[in-house]
């Protein structure tokens, strides 16, 4: 009886096994060297997208970090030329001034000495000229001596030279002389905006004191950037560039290359480049950081989607379509990359078809 029950259980188990549904297995991807074959019925085949390689217009952008600065000829730091005490201020912070406008006045014994030298020289010239005219008149009427006339002429010329020197000394300080004891009026050497004003009425300044006034004309500014030695061939004087500053991320700023330094920085292997930008609303402030994009001349080159490029260690490769469901791995050399495309320097040519999506599912061919 036990044997009959056991036989029945075995027969039932075998019958259930025979009647179980057979599970279909996916066809395998065939790998041979650098070549793979993907059956059309394989799920991965549906994930693959391809694209024919073509040449496109492309410009290699050279990007550099830079700092905004005032143009030197449009920037002036004014200190007192003499030790002395400030007696009056004519300006306020943020005020616009023209070249020659008074900034402040200062009483200085050193300046008084310059004034005295000028006054003395002026008096000496007047006396020398008077003596020279007198000697001319004496010789003209036959009662003078030629030697004394020559000496008077020489003395007159020397005194005029001394007066010219004294006058030049006053002009250095934008002064026309005036009476001895008058304060020195310090004037603006350039036109622009007062961006720093440290003048305090009554304060005593030494001759080597720091500047008390800074004037800047910021309708134009420079951006100083560093371009790598290998990229300097793309940058030329007069080239248009685009500039971005973090303070105004949505603002499109353009400039042009003003100067390219002749020297290479040996530590960074870069070259200093100055870009001039219009700044009519004074939004660009000296000291701000900027990103400068130098655009190169567009040329026809092979560009592919970044999704087509595969990376393995330090090498890069793509999958080339060599049959209906066949792909071959090929190494490539790349150039500039942006968010969507990458430039191919070598390894591909127009007319070939590459896998643009699905490469991450491909097996290792090594």
Q: What is the CATH number of domain 63-73+217-294?
A: 2.40.30.170
Q: From the first residue on, what is the mean pLDDT of each consecutive set of 10 residues in the chain (366 residues)?
A: 43 47 68 89 91 82 88 92 92 94 90 82 91 88 86 90 80 58 87 94 88 94 92 87 89 91 92 94 92 78 92 90 92 84 91 93 79
Q: How many CB atoms lie within 10 A of CB 7?
A: 10
How far apart (Å, rounded) are the C-alpha atoms in residues 143 and 151?
16
Helix, strand and coil percent figures for the chain, each rounded to 5: 25, 40, 35
- Per-residue confidence (pLDDT) for residue 14, from 0 to 100: 45
* pLDDT for the residue 5: 43
Look at residue 150 and give its three-state secondary structure: helix
At residue 13, the pLDDT reads: 46
Task: Quote the pTM value.
Answer: 0.57
Residues 109-182, CATH architecture: Orthogonal Bundle (1.10)
CA pair distance 203, 201, nearest whole angstrom? 6
How far CA 99 is from CA of 74, 185, 270, in Å, comes to 11, 13, 38
Give per-residue burial for 302-341: e unless 16+ CB within 10 Å, then b: bbbeebbbbeeeeebbbbbbeeebebbbeebebebeeeeb
Task: Give pLDDT tens digits for 26-40.
Answer: 678 888 888 999 998
Closest CA to 204 of 85, 79, 336, 61: 85
Q: In the beta sheet, which residues pair with residue 50?
A: 355
The set of residues, in sequence order, having a beta carbon less than 8 Å from that of 152 and lying 6+ positions away, is: 128, 131, 132, 134, 135
Judged by phi (left if over 0) then psi (alpha if -120 to 50, else beta), residue 192 lies in left
Report long-range pairs for 44-48 (Cβ below 8 Å, ≥24 apart). Answer: 44/358, 44/361, 45/325, 47/357, 47/358, 47/361, 48/355, 48/357, 48/358, 48/361
Nearest CA to 77 out of 240, 247, 196, 158 is that of 196
| Mean pLDDT of the chain, nearest integer | 85
Per the CB < 8 A criterion, the answer to whether 214 and 190 are in contact is no
Each domain of the chain, given as residue ranges in start order, spans 30-58+300-361, 63-73+217-294, 109-182
Q: What's the burial of 10, exposed, middle or buried (CB within 10 Å: 0-12/13-18/19+)?
A: exposed
Question: Is the CB of residue 222 less than 8 Å from the CB of residue 73?
Answer: no
Angstrom distance (rounded) from CA 366 to CA 356 = 21
Cβ-based neighbours of 127, under 8 Å, separated by 6 or more: 159
Query: Which among 336, 341, 338 is positioned nearest to 309, based on CA atoms?
Result: 341
**Sign of the dihedral defined by the CA atoms of residues 353, 357, 361, 366, in that order:** positive
30-58+300-361, which class in CATH?
A: mainly beta
Residue entry with tokens 């008084």: 112
Check for a shared fold between 30-58+300-361 and 109-182. Answer: no
CA nearest neighbour of 256 among 286, 228, 222, 283: 222
Q: What is the dihedral of CA 95, 97, 101, 106, to 10 degrees?
A: 40
Say how far apart CA 179 and CA 118 lie, in whole Å. Answer: 10
Query: Which H or E run includes 221?
Result: strand 220-228
């Amino acid at each position: 009886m036990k044997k009959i029950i056991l036989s029945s259980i075995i027969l039932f188990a075998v019958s259930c096994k025979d009647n179980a549904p057979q599970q279909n297995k996916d066809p395998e991807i065939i790998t041979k060297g650098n070549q793979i074959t993907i059956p059309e019925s394989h799920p991965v085949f549906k994930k693959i997208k391809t694209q024919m390689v073509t040449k496109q217009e492309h410009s290699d952008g050279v990007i550099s970090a830079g700092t905004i600065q005032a143009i030197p000829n449009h920037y002036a730091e004014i200190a007192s030329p003499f030790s002395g005490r400030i007696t009056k201020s004519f300006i306020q912070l943020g005020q616009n001034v023209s070249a020659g406008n008074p900034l402040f006045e200062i009483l200085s014994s050193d300046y008084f000495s310059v004034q005295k030298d000028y006054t003395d020289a002026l008096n000496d010239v007047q006396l020398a000229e008077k003596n020279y005219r007198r000697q001319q008149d004496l010789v003209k009427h036959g009662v003078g001596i030629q030697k004394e006339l020559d000496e008077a002429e020489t003395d007159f010329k020397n005194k005029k030279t001394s007066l010219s020197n004294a006058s030049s000394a006053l002009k250095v300080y934008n002064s026309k002389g005036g009476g001895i004891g008058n304060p020195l009026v310090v004037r603006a050497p350039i036109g622009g905006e007062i961006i720093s004003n440290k003048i305090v009425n009554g304060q005593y300044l030494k001759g080597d004191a720091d500047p008390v006034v800074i004037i800047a004309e910021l309708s134009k500014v420079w951006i100083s950037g560093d371009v790598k030695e290998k990229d300097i061939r793309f940058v030329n004087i007069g080239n248009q560039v685009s500039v971005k500053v973090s303070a105004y991320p949505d603002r499109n700023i353009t400039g042009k290359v003003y100067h390219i330094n002749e020297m290479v920085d040996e530590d960074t292997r870069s070259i200093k480049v100055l870009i001039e930008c219009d700044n009519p609303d004074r939004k660009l402030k000296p000291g701000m950081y900027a990103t400068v994009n130098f655009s190169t001349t567009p040329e026809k080159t092979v560009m592919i989607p970044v999704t087509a490029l595969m990376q393995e260690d330090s090498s890069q490769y793509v999958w080339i379509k060599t049959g209906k469901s066949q792909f071959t791995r090929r190494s490539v050399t790349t150039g500039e990359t942006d968010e969507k495309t990458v430039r191919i320097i070598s390894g591909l040519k127009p007319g070939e078809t590459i896998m643009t999506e699905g490469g991450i599912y491909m097996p290792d061919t090594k």
